[in-house]
Amino acid sequence: MNIKYIRDLPTKYKGSLKVLTPAMVGGHVGVGTLKAFIEKEHLDILFVDQLSLLDDDRKGKTLPDRMSNIIVDLKRLQVLKKMPIICVSQQNRTKNEDNTIDTTQIAGSDDVGKYATWVIGISRDKKDETILYLEVVKARDGGVGNKLTYCVDLGRGVFTYIPNENDEIEDKESEEKYLSRYNKQEEPGEDVFK
pLDDT at 27: 82
Q: For the chain, give every domain's residue range.
A: 1-116, 117-194
Tell me the pLDDT tens digit for each residue of 167-186. 666 655 655 655 555 554 43
pLDDT at 189: 39
Mean pLDDT calculated for residue range 127-149: 87
Question: Is residue 159 scored above 50 in pLDDT?
Answer: yes
Evaluate whether 119 touches 132 at the Cβ level (below 8 Å).
no
Tell me the pLDDT tens digit for each residue of 78-94. 999 999 999 887 776 56
pLDDT at 178: 53
- Give residue 170's identity as a one-letter amino acid code: E
pLDDT at 120: 87
Question: Residue 141: CA atoms inside 13 Å, Cβ hemisphere, count?
Answer: 1
- Phi, psi (degrees; rounded to nearest 5) at 35: -60, -45
pLDDT at 192: 37
Query: For residue 24, what pLDDT band results from cuts at 50, 70 and 90?
Result: confident
Mean pLDDT calculated for residue range 145-151: 89
pLDDT at 174: 57
DSSP string of 143-181, one letter each residue: -TT-EEEEEEETTTTEEEEE--TT---S-HHHHHHHHHH
Mean pLDDT calculated for residue range 85-106: 72
